[in-house]
Amino acid sequence: MKYRNSKNILYLLTEEKVRPARFIEIYRRNCGDIHKTLEYFFRYKKLKLNGKSEKKDTDGFNGSLYRKAVSIILQNKADLLDIGQDGYPDILRQIYSPPLLLFYKGGKIKKSGFCVAVVGSRKCTAYGREAAEYIGKNLSRLGITVVSGLAVGIDSSAQKAALAERGGTIGVLGCGIDIIYPPENRSLYEQIIENGSIVTEFLPETPPLKSNFPVRNRIISGLCRGVVVVEAGERSGAIITSEMALKQNREVFAVPGSIFNPMSRGCHRLIKSGAKLAESIDDILEEFSQYQEQTLKACKNSDYDNSDVRSKQVRELTGDKLKAYEFIGHRPKSIEEIVKYTGLELKEALRALASLEIKQLIKEDSFNKYSRLF
């Protein structure tokens, strides 16, 4: 909290209730000069601009709301990033209504290079989870930062996978920086602080209101060059994010799914209306060739795809396992069907299924119904 401007903006937001849109308007009118903007507001409000002495970290503001916000930020070891500051992502500054202040934990946000968002439904299928992990992991392996909303389901799957690799991940919250939402992601939250960033524009102690999330989604797409929608129902937050992305002139990708799966409806609608179908990482990288010469070159000869291991495993299948695997298509089949049509005995079938499951070639999709993962 060394930056005077951030504190001045925080004061305006908490105590003086300045509307962010108004601030952005003045900011743009001043050609992006944060000092002039602040001076304008402080003169207008007949206040004294803080931070005459550079050395002193204390400030002269006394409003209780402001004080509380500052103390919460300090307590949570969070930090502030304002729109005029170096390290505020350029790409985010360009959107229609950029956040004035970003509260963040973890340093990634200040040196976030190239970002791609991976978003999707909270209630995802096994396939969706697998796809999110695949995309998150391989993007991150190429040094691309994966941005998402930290929700359960697709979001956290992609972020978990991205964490372990080079690119890291940025999570954008829909609540105050001091609130961990959803609480079951606490451990992920803490890991991200170490190798990534948690970011929010909401003031401390803002609860995760329903209305916050669409607002938050504009930051997710704003931080990124492209948005990959993995699994989304027909009316889903991921669809809102992709709409934001279009307004912000970002690329939109959609991962196709089964035509029988309602959770793929949204993705398929996106594809129909012009989103790029993303089958592999190459599909995504193709669109970014102008930005990332280096990245693209690197990926050509990298080992980002793990499908080789799987296809080798499939080739090595024999006997009951092969029989069962061949019968199970991508549409879920029940145990009763498997026993009936493969001619296997029940216990043989169960064992074959269990060992295929351990090899991660199939997955129990709904109760007692299995489908191929690969």
Partner 1 sequence: MFFKLDSFTLTGIDAIKVTVEIHISRGLPDFIIVGLPGKAVNESRQRVRSAIINSGFEFPVKKIIVNLSPADIRKDGSFYDLPIALSILAASDQIGGSIIRRSCFIGELSLDGSINPVRGLISMAEKARAAKKKYFFVPLRIARQASFIPGISIVACKNLLETVEALSGEKQIKKFIYKNKNVPDEGNFSGPDFRDVKGQLKAKRALEIAVSGRHNIMLIGPPGSGKTMLAQRAVSIMPDLNLTECIEVTKIYSLYEKYVNRLIRQRPFRNPHHTVSRMGLIGGGANPRPGEISLAHKGLLFLDEFSQFSKNLIEDLRQPLENKKVVITRNHMSYSFPCNFMLIAAINPCYCGYFGDDTKKCICSLREVKKFWKKMSGPVMDRIDMRVTAARLPESDFIKTGYAESSDKIRNRVKRSIDIQDERFRGKDIDYNSEIGIDMVNQWLKDNKKIRDLIYTISKKYNLTARGTVSILKVSRTIADLEESERIKDSHIIEAVHYRIGCNNNPDGIVSI
Distance CA 73, CA 85 (A): 18
Question: What are the distances in angstroms from CA 198 to CA 1, 159, 185, 264, 305?
Answer: 17, 12, 12, 28, 28
Please, which residues bridge with residue 253 across strands? 228, 276
210 in contact with partner 1 (CB under 8 A):
no
48 in contact with partner 1 (CB under 8 A):
no
* Residue nearer to partner 1 on the CB measure, 250 or 363: 363
- For partner 1 (CB under 8 A), the number of binding residues is 33
Three-state SS string across 276-336, please?
Answer: EECCCHHHHHHCCCCCCHHHHHHHHCCCCCCHHHHHHHHHCCCHHHHHHHHHCCCCCEEHH
Taking the complex as a whole, how short is the minimal distance between the CB of residue 336 and partner 1, in angstroms? 5
Helix (H) or strand (E) holding 93: helix 90-93
Q: Could you tell me whether strands 251-254 and 226-229 are parallel, antiparallel, or unpaired per DSSP bridges?
A: parallel
* Residue nearer to partner 1 on the CB measure, 47 or 179: 179
122 in contact with partner 1 (CB under 8 A):
yes
Select the span of 49-57, 97-105, 123-131, 240-248 touching partner 1 (CB under 8 A): 123-131
Taking the complex as a whole, how short is the minimal distance between the CB of residue 246 and partner 1, in angstroms? 28
* Residue nearer to partner 1 on the CB measure, 67 or 122: 122
Question: What are the distances in angstroms from CA 17 to CA 24, 27, 39, 47, 58?
Answer: 14, 17, 16, 14, 22
188 in contact with partner 1 (CB under 8 A):
no
367 in contact with partner 1 (CB under 8 A):
yes
* Residue nearer to partner 1 on the CB measure, 216 or 363: 363
Please, which residues bridge with residue 372 across strands? 362
Using CB under 8 A as the criterion, what x/- string covers residues 326-345 for binding partner 1?
A: ------x-xxx--x------
* Residue nearer to partner 1 on the CB measure, 257 or 332: 332
Taking the complex as a whole, how short is the minimal distance between the CB of residue 354 and partner 1, in angstroms? 4
Question: What are the distances in angstroms from CA 225 to CA 90, 144, 154, 168, 221?
Answer: 12, 10, 19, 16, 8
Residues that bind partner 1 (CB under 8 A): 122-124, 126, 129, 152-153, 156-157, 182, 184, 262, 332, 334-336, 339, 346-347, 350-351, 353-355, 357-358, 363-369
